[in-house]
Chain A
């Protein structure tokens, strides 16, 4: 028998994820405006959509390897990046909590089904990008 309530935990995680993500995004926007840009691009380049589209100023130009150095350099663009990735990971943690709770219930059919969902999520994140150049 479980001594925890997975629905309450899920609800807590969802709320925490949104709050963390939004605070990073808001902080990033403020820094972006104060510093007039980030990651080598000026604000006017970023906010000109067609220029940004033609010159590849988008999520592709932000290197995820540079997140730590970007954060320590107080680069607004990387704060927004972290905020958006926290947002992407929020629902994934929910599936993971579900997976653990199914395992606790010895409900192996659903452990398998949650595993497929997690596989799909990581497939989209890690495998698909390698085929897209």
Chain B
């Protein structure tokens, strides 16, 4: 009897991970960003176990999707490995910070940071930061020294696009923070990596997203080995999430190609912002700071705030489109 209950428990984690992987790949934030809040908020799993299971599952999804992209030669492996110097260093510092925070019983801080990182990474994702091909920037000294050039074949534009990156040093700085966040929170922090390559180094969006996908695995491997020795990985949970997130990301990638209606993505943004607010509330609730009301009420407040916020953002983005249409008329 208890065995059946445990099997059900296992399968519910697999199910939750499938959903997390699915939403993560549809929104481009990655499985871990959704998985950690789902595991801690809905399954009552302690944060460190959630982070451990999530980080190691992130490797599976990163490797799975990166294998497709590298074959098509869109991801730039050279630039990726160069930037990994900063992300792996950041991951070591980040995971050691988590160990410190955990040993001093300050885990509420991580909940708050997690919520804020989730909410802030929604902004560039919604705005889709740069355009497909970035505005031309003059090559600088780092372009030549670090050979930041490349080309790929764009299937939609049907031509080979040549590109070059600039400001390598700025990219490394952003990547350090991306690695730090990854090690601290147990996520891939793909949004920050995209920011580093798109905003700092002025690389095309396709190269940015595919290269960051491939880099996430290396960063997560660094953090995971520290997590392993610290005992943050519960094998029962990690086995379930690794399988689940992989399945979810696989279907997410299939569906992503077919989605023609952009509006569907807004529902997922609303879910993500709900998770973000709820994580902040949970963290503040742990130390009874401002938020002293019960779990149920936290839930409802998060729902209301996130619906309101996404409603405003949705209206804003639509209004711009309507205005453009009016001008055309």
Contact = CB atoms under 8 A, between A and B. Distances in A.
Interface of A: 6-8, 10-12, 14-15, 17-18, 21-22, 25-26, 28-29, 32-33, 36, 43-44, 46-47, 49-50, 52-53, 56-62, 77, 80-81, 83-84, 87-92, 94-95, 98, 102, 107, 109-110, 113-114, 116-117, 120-121, 123-125, 128-129, 132
Contacts of A77: 235
B304 interface: no
The CB with the most chain A CB atoms within 10 A, among B6, B233, B235, is that of B235
B63 A90 contact: yes
Interface of B: 2-3, 6-7, 9-10, 44-46, 48-49, 52, 56, 59-60, 62-64, 66-68, 70-71, 73, 77-78, 81-82, 84-85, 88-89, 91-92, 95-96, 99, 145-147, 214, 217-218, 220-240, 242-243, 246
Contact of B81 (A62, A87, A113): A113
Contacts of B88: 117, 120-121, 124
9 contacts: A15-B67, A25-B243, A29-B240, A88-B56, A95-B81, A107-B147, A124-B226, A129-B225, A129-B226
A95 B321 CA distance: 44
Contacts of A94: 77, 214, 217-218
A22 B63 CA distance: 12
Given A11-B67, A88-B56, A110 B78 contact: yes
* B contact face: mostly helix, strand, loop, or mixed: helix
Nearest to A45: B236
* A contact face: mostly helix, strand, loop, or mixed: helix
Nearest to B218: A91
A63 to B, nearest CB: 11
B283 to A, nearest CB: 18
Contacts of A62: 235
B52 A124 contact: no
Given A50-B46, A129-B229, A22 B235 contact: no
